[in-house]
Structures are given as C-alpha cells and as structure tokens.
Structure 1
Amino acid sequence: MTLRPDLAIIADAVPAGARILDIGCGDGTLMAALRDDKRVDARGLEIDAANVTTAIARGLSVVQGDANRDLSGYPADGFDYAILSQTLQTTERPDRVVDELLRIAPRAFVSFPNFAHWRVRLSLLWNGRMPVTRLLPVAWYATPNIHHVTVRDFRELVRAKGIKVDAVWYLNRDRTTGDAAASWRAEHAIFLISRG
C-alpha cells in the first residue's frame, strides 16, 4: 500500500510494536500499514462516518468522534504515540488539542500544510484572494481549515508551552527539504514532539 508522503515519514519513524492513537485517521490507511508492517497496536478516532466504516472493514479499531471534544475520554499515557496528520488546522483550539495529544502519549506526530508557503504568499499578493493549491484544493468557504498555521506559528506554540521538538521533516512537492527557509519553502511540515 502506498502512503501519502507525510504518512510514509510517520510510518518510518514509529517503532515496531508501539501503541498509537491516530486522531483524524481517515480511512485508516496509516493504521493498516503500521499494523501490517510493524505489528503496531493502532487505534483511531475519525469524525467522518464513511471513513470509520471503511477503516472498520479493514479490521481496524476506529471510533467515530471529534478531536475537539472526545480526546479527554482517553486515559493519560494510554499510548506511546499520538498522531495528528493534516488535522491540526481543522480543530477549534489547536493549542488545547496539542495539550491533549501529549497527555494521551508522551510523544506525538503533528503534520500540517504550511500556510506561509511561497505559492500561498504569492497568490495573496497578486490575486488578493485565499489560494487554491495542490495541498489546499478547495475555495476558502468550503475548506475544513479554520486555522491557517505556519511553520513559525507552530514552533512558537510549542516553545511557549515548553514542548520539546524531537524531529522535524519538511515536504516540498512531496519530497523532503531542508530546514533552511522552511518557513516559506515547505508546503507541509511534520513535527515529532514530546513533553518538555
């Protein structure tokens, strides 16, 4: 099974046999890969009923729920890793969701589209409108994205909270890119964070 580039990075970094909670797990593609390739004990939380049905049909343990309200029902340190991929920007209070991730597990993967990417900036400058790009493919009024997070914004959030950044990967055109000028060059960022 071919994983999206950000999910492939996360899958490579999760150790075999880990216990994970994938929040916003979609149809369970990452969970299935981790289960099959690394014998990971994978659980999922997903808001979309059709995705939950698909994940369950794959034999995955997924419940329907909302990251904004349902993370508090999970026990502290119930998992080794929490995963929040391309979901942070859709939550009502990303700062509180990050707190919940690190309550549920000592380490968390958080990935998000970088709204400060140069194409987004250029579109705003030239057109004066919210852009529609490959990674942000819908108009502003139809997008689930309610917080336009950037690499620098996320770094500031974790710094202010005393959260440790263990690793960072940046993607540009689905390929990893370096840290130099990532705030405007990276289309997507993946952070591995832990309690400070």
Structure 2
Amino acid sequence: MNTTLRADLRLIADWVRPGARVLDLGCGDGALLAWLQQHRQTRGYGVEIDVENVARCVEAGVSAIQGDLETGLSDFADGSFDLVILSQTIQAMHHTEEILLEMLRVGREAIVTFPNFGYWQNRWQIFRGRMPVSETIPYQWYDTPNIHWCMLGDFEALCAKNGIRLLERVVMDGERRVGFLPNLFGSLAFYRVGR
C-alpha cells in the first residue's frame, strides 16, 4: 500500500496522538489507518460499507469491518476510542446529527471533514445555473451520494445545538490552508470536536 497520504489525510494524521485508539468511519481502502499504525503506533478499526474496500484494508493489515454507518455504532461501547474519524462522509449520511452524537459516545474526540458548500467556485457554478462539480464534490447532481450540503457556520451551529465543543478548525483549498474568509475560499473543512 502507498505510504504517501493525500493532503487531507495528512492534516487528519497530524491531529492523531501516538498510541491512540482510533475508529475510522468510512475508512475506504484503509490508507489512513495503515499510515497511523505504522507512523503513530495507533490501534483501532475501520468501518466501511464497500466489501471490496474492506478486503483492501485486510490486505494492508488494517482491522476493518463491513458495516452501514446509518445503523449507528451500537457494536462499540461508550468511550472505546480516543478518536473517531469521519472524513468526507457526513454529507452523505441520512442521520447526520445521530452519527455525530454516536461518534462522541464511543470516542473522547472526533474529527469530521466535509466539502464546504460555501466555497466560491461552488457559488459561481450555482450562479451560472448549475450544481457544483469539483475536486471535493466530484459527482453530477443526479448520481451523487451527497444529500446534506453544509457550510462552516452550519456545522458549527449543529455542534452548538448539541453541546459539542469545537477544539480546532482548519479550512483548506487543495493543499493550502485558508485563513482569510475561510467559508468563501476554502473547499474542504476539518473540525476536531469533543464533549
């Protein structure tokens, strides 16, 4: 397996403490978990709906189970993990609020990343009469798994409503961190949250 991480996964990895117990929801092929095991000596699991990706995880030495996040995390006890990760998946969840609460039930902290719908290029495409298609939103409107679009303020309001503390926020455009007008100039949002 390639040990080079994409820019978004590198940022997530920077937030993971050595030796942490990690649960990666929607772990894909397990690239992040494999890197964390090798470089941060983490322990944990991945949950992935795609059976072929679960097989790729196992081939890479990553413990992964096939599961549908929409059914919740009842297989995991309270406080089982130091960190629960949901990377670029929350916008495809039917039960967004529930999965966020479940993440913080089974983990002390959570990392959530999502495409920022407020990004200027998305706004420009809407202005021109089309639904956005970009690197972070790579689907046409009629075949997208994404069902809940949000911007930075939307996610922060959801956290406030549920008593979730915002521990850290980074907004990126490609590999570049965005500090000035992040909701306008950032295509991908990263949050580290806790209770």
Shorter-chain TM-score tier: over 0.9
Superposed CA RMSD in Å reads: 0.9
Structural mapping, 1:92-103, within 5 Å: 92-103=94-105
Structural mapping, 1:2-41, within 5 Å: 2-41=4-43
User: How many angstroms apart in 1 are the aligned matches of 2:117 and 2:4?
Assistant: 26
Displacement, 1:161? 1.0
- Greater displacement, 163-172 / 130-139: 130-139
**Which deviations, in whole Å up to 9, do the C-alpha atoms of 1:86-144 show, x marking residues without a partner?**
01001111111100000010100000000111110110011x12111122122011111
**Which deviations, in whole Å up to 9, do the C-alpha atoms of 1:35-70 show, x marking residues without a partner?**
000110021100111100100111111000011104
TM-score normalized with structure 1 length: 0.96
Residue of structure 2 in register with 1:151 after alignment: 152
Contact 1:17 / 1:40 at 8 angstroms: preserved in 2? yes
Residue of structure 2 in register with 1:190 after alignment: 190
User: How many angstroms apart in 2 are the aligned matches of 1:65 and 1:182?
Assistant: 34
Contact 1:23 / 1:45 at 8 angstroms: preserved in 2? yes
User: How many angstroms apart in 2 are the aligned matches of 1:67 and 1:103?
Assistant: 14
Structure 2 portions without partners, runs of 5+: none
User: How many angstroms apart in 2 are the aligned matches of 1:145 and 1:65?
Assistant: 18
User: How many angstroms apart in 2 are the aligned matches of 1:169 and 1:6?
Assistant: 10
User: How many angstroms apart in 2 are the aligned matches of 1:79 and 1:117?
Assistant: 33
Contact 1:132 / 1:138 at 8 angstroms: preserved in 2? yes
Residue of structure 2 in register with 1:113 after alignment: 115
SS of aligned partner of 1:45: strand
Residue of structure 1 in register with 2:65 after alignment: 63
SS of aligned partner of 1:101: helix
Indicate yes or no: 2:89 matched with 1:83: no
Contact 1:34 / 1:42 at 8 angstroms: preserved in 2? no
Letter in 2 for 1:17: G
User: How many angstroms apart in 2 are the aligned matches of 1:114 and 1:3?
Assistant: 21
SS of aligned partner of 1:56: helix
SS of aligned partner of 1:2: coil
User: How many angstroms apart in 1 are the aligned matches of 2:4 and 2:144?
Assistant: 25
TM-score normalized with structure 2 length: 0.96
Residue of structure 2 in register with 1:135 after alignment: 136
Structure 1 portions without partners, runs of 5+: none
SS of aligned partner of 1:71: coil
Misfit runs of 4+, over 6 Å: none
Displacement, 1:173? 2.3
Identity %: 39
Figure out how many residues of one structure are paired with residues of the other and give that number.
193
